Amino acid sequence: MNLRRAGLLFLVAAALDCGTFGTSETLARGRSGRAARGSLDKKVIKDVIHEHHREVRACYEVELVKQPELAGRVLSQFTISGTGDVVAVVLRDSTLGNSAIEECVRRRLLSWKFPKPVGGGNVDVIYAFNFFPSP
């Protein structure tokens, strides 16, 4: 993806300190050429993700019981609409090799609500969830 053409607004580094996530990056940008461009502060996005991290962690822990060494990353891209709803989720990459976790993460993301973006348009976010067993 050409970030300049994509209308890069900001890059966020976020660490989820809950034992099953590592450091992740978030990329949020307006969707140039499709819908009106919106924006959300990187801290707002990070805060909402942190509010819901237990939901995503639960997806992982269900499968971790079956596979105690399971670890990896799920790279997601989701669109926050002008109303704050997540209206689309694409899993761009996964090193987990576990479709149950990947689908669970996708479903969870679709249920999240963010504040309305400034400008009322869509905001695309790329976020990597890193999973590893607790020590």
> Mean pLDDT for the chain?
79
Closest CA to 55 of 115, 101, 96, 86: 101
How many helices (H) and strands (E) the chain has is answered by 4, 5
CA dihedral 76, 77, 81, 82 (to 10 degrees): 110
Q: What is the pLDDT of residues 5-20, one digit of tens each?
A: 222 222 232 333 222 2
Residue 86: which pLDDT band, with cuts at 50, 70 and 90? very high
Report pLDDT for 134. Answer: 84
Report pLDDT for 54. Answer: 95
Report pLDDT for 5. Answer: 26
Q: What is the pLDDT of residues 29-53, one digit of tens each?
A: 444 445 567 899 999 999 999 999 9
Which structure tokens are listed for 10?
A: 């900001």
Report whether 34 contacts 104 (CB < 8 A). Answer: no
Instruction: Give the Cα separation of 129 and 102 in Å (integer).
Output: 10
pLDDT over 70 percentage in the chain: 73
Q: What is the pTM of this model?
A: 0.74
What is the arithmetic mean of pLDDT over 76-89?
A: 97
Burial class (CB in 10 A: 0-12, 13-18, 19+), 2: exposed
Which structure tokens are listed for 123?
A: 């905001």
Report pLDDT for 35. Answer: 53
Can you name the residues that pair with 8 across neighbouring β-strands?
29
